[in-house]
Chain A
Amino acid sequence: MTSELIVFLVLSLVAIAAALGMVFSRNAVYSALFLVLNFTTVAVFYLLLGAPFIAMSQITVYAGAIMVLFLFVIMLLGVDSLAPSKSLPWQKPLAFSLAFILVVESVYLLISRAQPNMVVTAPDIAVNSMDNLREMAMTMFNQFLLPFEVTSVLLLVAMVGAIVLTNREKVGRK
């Protein structure tokens, strides 16, 4: 058992625990914080996998911007917990069993049937360097130019949409 493996396992447990915490915590704020923890852990994985740029994006965009926005909305709405629900009593057990089956399926699949046999290489210096980043930028603005532009349009649309939805000046139909 190598050190990376140990680190991986520990971080995995943290990530899973954070995810479960997010899902099960009563308080929405806790959920959001658990999710931030999870995102951070995952960012570490990205580093381990030799993707520093993505790791940084993860921290800044996800854990930073997006989650802050979430927290902001949670605070704004002021709803921190809901009373236990009477509706859909069978929803939970069913969800658990489906989730369990899905996990079993995927683990079974990955272990026994479809092995992408390769081993993850250690994050060497070369990968996590500026050269690497430059390389990536080149790819992105050459090969992936179109998606990039589409993404920009997408963000614009999202912005317009958000404004349309929250702009109250022009009241719609009664």
Chain B
Amino acid sequence: MHLSETVTSGFFFLAPWLVFAPLTGLLINLIFGKWFKFSEKMVGTVASLASGAAFVVSVLLAYSVSINHGEMVRWRLAEWIHVGTLQLDWTFRMDSLSTTMMLVVSGVGTLIHIYAIGYMHEDVRFKKEEGRFPRFFIFLNLFIAAMMILVSGDSYMMLFVGWEGVGLCSFLLIGFWYEMDTLARPSWANSNAAKKAFITNRVGDFGFLIAGFLMFWYLGSFQFDQVFEAAKSAPPEIIVAITLFMLVGVAGKSAQIPLYIWLPDAMAGPTPVSALIHAATMVTAGVYLVTRSAEIYTLVPQAQYIVAMVGAGTALFAATIAVGQYDIKKVLAYSTISQLGFMVAAVGMGAYVAGMFHLITHAFFKALLFLSAGSVILGMERGHHHLAHAHHESKPAKGKKSSKETHDDSHHDEIFDPGDMRNMGGLRKTMPVTFWLYIIGTLALAGIFPFAGFWSKDEILLDASLHFTSIYWQLTLAAFLTAFYMGRQIWMVFFGEPRHAAAAHAEESPKVMTVPLMVLAALSILGGALNLPFEGFHNLGHWLGYTLAEVESLPLDLKVAGISTVLALAAILTSWLLYGRNPLKAGQIDPLKRPLGFIFTGMENKWFVDEGYFAIIINPFKKLSQFLADVIDWQFWHDFVHDTVILGTYNWLSEIALDHYADQKGIDAFANWLGTATQSVSATLRKIQNGFVRSYALSVMLGVVLILGYLIFK
């Protein structure tokens, strides 16, 4: 149903297909996949087509919005929850902001779908679980659908549906290899990571929900426009509360301090997942949320400042941890957290366009990096696999060796981590395509002119330098570290000599993987063109200006750009000095370890934040619930109160009227517990039903005496 009367033309009727298209793909694979025994290619194609269809729809919608001069259009699909004044509908909202997100999500998503066909083909074989291939694409499609709901919803609650939906997909995909850890050993690690992600996100969702409740009861609605309208006349403290609770949600979803902890663990998921969900799209939902809520954030600068501080703090903090990581994906994960910090800082400062710009470019180059990293890992796996086979085949010939190493047979896979950069080295020779793609991604991330990252990061820094000096310096420092750890990664992975046999035998990835990477590489190079900081080129700003009330279109500031570029180059140089000039040897400790000492230990160990959470929240909660369950609820409430007190009293009361009392040890014990006073009473009473006629007569007599006494002396 068309809700915007001024607009009549366009493809808005296609809006529901944003969601239905991926869902259709999902259902086809789910229902018919098994039935018709879809091949892997078939499954992948269906899923990619579904995602691609969503992309096409997004394009058409964006086009429709543009031909309507950015006019917002709402498309109501159905009623959802109508209770009293609560009126929630399934309504799609098309404006420049949401269509931008749709394009990013479905565009990057489709590329990753295609990439995953190749990636998963090998991955399932390394993990010896070929049957799980279709499941991956079902989840991916589900993710696209949920993400589309998130970005296209017309109310906070519909957004929330997508918000939790992507959380679920994240859970499912992180835990895709749920029976093992990242090294494919049987373990709870991956499923723990999945659970951690979901629960941490739920904490954020709690904030979101509370914000929603406040919104409903003080602003009267969940629908964006109505909320924005009502917010203008609402008491500011309420708005502050709403925005800050929403920030909790943002922190959860976009991995900001203090809820970022799940994202590094989320790397347990297959690499396409890390790229799509945990780098390019889902984690940026928080940024989208703040941008979407720009109108209420603008009302309360103090809340904005807090948002910006959280973002900047995260950017710097995560960057420091990234420096100390050895896992190729972990580095990228912390990098993602850091970059998300940039975006959140940007939107916190009110630089929504800059934030969105960085979101888009980051989606390109971080997806590129992750996918390339996936390519590297697979390459290593292939190398290792190759090695294992060779080893296996040659074993009968080396009878001596097998007798010497008795464990060789059972542990013929010694623990090999294909993602550990300390095992790599010199891969530029064995995986040249990946190498070059990786270089492009790195340069973009490091913010080297003219790659996409340069433009978007610069815009954020510029904004920060104009508004909040402290944030500017934090971000600048973070940018320096970014370039440093990316440089470190490049040197460790691609240069020097292989530190492990697998690295020496690594093989390049197939086309189905590298082609999407090339597309992403192109976007990483050219993405800056979206919003060049020159007069007349603020395309993205202009476009988003249709939706966002105030848009800053800043020109390029050479001082800021210069400083950041210089710093980035300096950082890369430093990393070369440390890691490039003298490549690491196998087993050598990190060269930073000595000069930085305990600081580097902190970086390596993520500043012990996880341990802190365990000590402060998780373990106490476990203990508390154990205590409640075992002691309070079961031993005390269930066993003691019910069984001992109630039943015991029952029995005790009945026993004292009888002579069985003395025989029953259990009840005796209970009577002891009651104390000697009651015992003496019961000792008198217990003889009553003793079979003696005289006692029975006594009872009658007692009754008579008491009754007469009552009547006479009352």
Binding site for B on A (CB under 8 A): 87-88, 90-91, 94-95, 98, 101-102, 105-106, 108-109, 113
Contacts and interface: CB of A to CB of B under 8 A. Distances in A.
Interface string B675-695: 000000000100100101011
A87 B701 contact: no
Contact of B694 (A91, A101, A106, A108): A91
Contacts of A95: 694, 698, 701
B698 A113 contact: no
Contacts of B690: 88
B707 to A, nearest CB: 10
Contact of B692 (A87, A106, A108): A87
Nearest to A91: B694
B708 interface: yes
7 tightest A-B CB contacts, nearest first: A105-B708, A98-B701, A101-B705, A98-B705, A109-B712, A102-B705, A105-B712
Interface range for B: 10 to 19
25 contacts: A87-B692, A88-B687, A88-B690, A88-B692, A88-B694, A88-B695, A91-B692, A91-B694, A91-B698, A95-B694, A95-B698, A98-B698, A98-B702, A98-B705, A101-B705, A101-B709, A102-B701, A102-B704, A102-B705, A102-B708, A105-B705, A105-B709, A106-B708, A108-B712, A113-B712
A90 B690 CA distance: 13
Nearest to B697: A95
Given A91-B692, A102-B704, A109-B712, 13 more contacts: A87-B692, A88-B687, A88-B692, A88-B695, A91-B694, A95-B694, A95-B698, A98-B701, A98-B702, A101-B705, A105-B708, A108-B712, A109-B708
Contacts of A105: 705, 708-709, 712
Contacts of B709: 101, 105
Nearest to B708: A105
Contacts of A113: 712
Contacts of A98: 698, 701-702, 705
B710 to A, nearest CB: 10
Nearest to B704: A102
B112 to A, nearest CB: 92
A34 B446 CA distance: 125
A93 B591 CA distance: 100
Interface of B: 684, 687, 690, 692, 694-695, 698, 701-702, 704-705, 708-709, 712
A155 to B, nearest CB: 26
A105 to B, nearest CB: 5
A91 B694 CA distance: 8
A95 B704 CA distance: 13
B704 to A, nearest CB: 7
A108 B712 CA distance: 8
Contacts of A101: 705, 709
Contacts of B694: 88, 91, 95
A36 to B, nearest CB: 24
A111 to B, nearest CB: 11
Contacts of B705: 98, 101-102, 105
Nearest to A99: B701
A109 B708 CA distance: 10
B679 to A, nearest CB: 16
Contacts of B698: 91, 94-95, 98
Contacts of B684: 90
Contacts of A94: 698
Contacts of A90: 684
Q: Which of A91, A106, A113 has the most CB of B within 10 A?
A: A91
A86 to B, nearest CB: 13
Contacts of B704: 102
A90 B702 CA distance: 14
Contacts of B695: 88, 91
B158 to A, nearest CB: 82
A56 to B, nearest CB: 32
Contacts of A102: 701, 704-705, 708
A142 B441 CA distance: 129
A105 B38 CA distance: 102
Nearest to A102: B705
B711 to A, nearest CB: 9
A137 to B, nearest CB: 36
Nearest to A87: B692
Contacts of B702: 98
Contacts of B701: 95, 98, 102
B639 to A, nearest CB: 38
A113 B714 CA distance: 12
Contacts of A91: 692, 694-695, 698
A99 to B, nearest CB: 8
Q: Which of B687, B702, B705 has the most CB of A within 10 A?
A: B705
A99 B705 CA distance: 9
A96 to B, nearest CB: 11
A164 to B, nearest CB: 22
Contacts of A108: 712
Nearest to B692: A88
A46 B712 CA distance: 29
A98 B220 CA distance: 79
Contacts of B712: 105, 108-109, 113
A152 B694 CA distance: 32
A29 B709 CA distance: 36
Contacts of A109: 708, 712
A48 B687 CA distance: 46
A110 to B, nearest CB: 10
Contacts of B692: 87-88, 91
Nearest to A100: B705
A88 B690 CA distance: 10
A102 B694 CA distance: 17
B353 to A, nearest CB: 99
